[in-house]
């Protein structure tokens, strides 16, 4: 019987692509007993449910159904619900991924119970503490026992913050494992027909960060830039529920060149990314995926915690004002970029994570 019980936490849409390769390698290794927990931070079918079927992730053993609310309410609710589960299961470790509220909530509870914490995608820093995700990253890394890193900047950040080198492991990017293993299937998607695309070139938009969508003036700046870009290139925008609410609240009506569509499942969204001429996003994961797909990406932020997507990849910072976004767009038209794929983003990060865990727990 396996004796190394590890609880893996998934809470929000970006987590699922990182959890899938870990569940696969841990389930295949007889030394480990992986227990998947879905906190319910994203809880509608399009935002989470379909991702489980698309990525062939097994049904979670536990579903906490924590739901939404403010950052404080959501984090507290997840902490309340994960504690009795950990007390009952008595795992050797809790493995958290990314930088969402589920990440920091479950890491805090585990650490206070004396359970080891493993953080996958550790060390990323935007150096902007106004971002809730940055706080989650810093706190989680500060209490983690094993830190699994996607890019060299993460290792350097952790060393600078005083993390011992023996706890840091550069393993590559789990999201890219999922992308590479599902890309061929995703390219067979019929999403273009289902949403009535006429064919030809198009751009893909995603927008969800509170700093971009909650401030009416900033949202107006970004949509103003999208309107101008839409005159050159038709845009398709799968609307995050948060963003949809803000557009309605602020009375922002967009031109017919910007097609607002429902949130997409993983396969459909991957098809859209792979076939887009440009991606405009404020998502960290999309910056990484577009880099591997070698699709030009304009990040609608003033910073990024994933600098390798700029130094090596196809990403560039466009800022959040109409003027800066359009300047980046015109520069992209004049100087197209495809970049290169960063080291260890080769689809084998899951295997390297397993090797680290075996050394740590088995010896």
How far apart (Å, rounded) are the C-alpha atoms in residues 102 and 22? Answer: 17
Residues 344, 171 contacting (CB under 8 angstroms): yes
How far apart (Å, rounded) are the C-alpha atoms in residues 213 and 326? Answer: 18
- For 260-318, the DSSP string reads EE----HHHHHHHHHH-SEEEE--HHHHHHHHHHT--EEESSS--S-THHHHTSSEEE-
Residues 9, 40 contacting (CB under 8 angstroms): no
Strand, coil or helix: 93 = strand
Question: Which residues, 6 or more positions from 184, have their beta carbon under 8 angstroms from its beta carbon?
Answer: none
CA dist list (Å): 69 to 66, 75, 77, 140, 242: 9, 9, 9, 21, 12
Q: Is 71 among the catalytic positions?
A: no
Q: Residues 208, 240, 259, 360: which is the catalytic one?
A: 208
Residues 294, 288 contacting (CB under 8 angstroms): no
Measure the N-to-C terminal CA separation of the chain; round to a whole number of Å.
18
Instruction: List the catalytic residues.
Output: 208
């Amino acid at each position: 019987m396996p004796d190394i019980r590890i609880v893996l936490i998934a809470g929000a849409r970006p987590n699922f692509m990182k959890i899938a390769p870990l569940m696969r390698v841990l389930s295949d290794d007889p030394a480990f007993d992986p227990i998947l927990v879905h906190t319910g931070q994203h809880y509608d079918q399009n935002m989470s449910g379909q991702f489980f079927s698309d990525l062939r992730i097994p049904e979670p053993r536990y579903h906490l159904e924590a739901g939404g609310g403010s950052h404080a309410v959501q984090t507290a609710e997840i902490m309340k619900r994960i504690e009795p589960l950990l007390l009952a299961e008595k795992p050797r470790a809790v493995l958290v991924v990314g930088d969402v509220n589920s990440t920091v909530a479950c890491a805090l509870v585990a650490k206070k119970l004396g359970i080891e914490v493993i953080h996958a995608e550790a060390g990323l820093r935007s150096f902007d503490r106004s971002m809730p995700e940055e706080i989650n990253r810093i706190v989680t890394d500060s209490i983690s026992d094993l830190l699994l890193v996607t890019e060299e900047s993460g290792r350097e950040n952790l060393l600078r913050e005083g993390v011992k080198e023996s706890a840091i492991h550069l393993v590559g990017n789990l999201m890219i494992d999922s992308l590479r293993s599902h890309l061929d299937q995703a390219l067979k998607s019929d999403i273009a027909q289902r949403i009535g695309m006429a064919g030809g070139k198009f751009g893909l938009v995603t927008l969800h960060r509170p700093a971009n969508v909650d401030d009416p003036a900033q949202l107006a700046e970004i949509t103003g830039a999208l309107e101008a870009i839409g005159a050159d290139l038709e845009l398709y925008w799968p609307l995050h529920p948060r963003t949809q609410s803000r557009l309605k609240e602020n009375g922002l009506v967009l031109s017919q060149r910007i097609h607002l569509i429902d949130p997409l499942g993983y396969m459909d969204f991957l098809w859209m990314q792979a076939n887009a001429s440009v991606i405009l996003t404020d998502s960290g994961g999309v910056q990484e995926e577009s880099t591997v797909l070698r699709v030009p990406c304009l990040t609608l932020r003033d910073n990024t915690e994933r600098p390798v997507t700029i130094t090596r990849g196809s990403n560039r910072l466009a800022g959040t004002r109409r003027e800066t976004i359009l300047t980046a767009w015109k520069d992209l038209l004049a100087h197209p970029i495809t970049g290169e794929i960063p080291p260890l983003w080769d689809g084998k990060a899951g295997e390297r994570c397993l090797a680290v865990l075996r050394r740590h727990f088995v010896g």
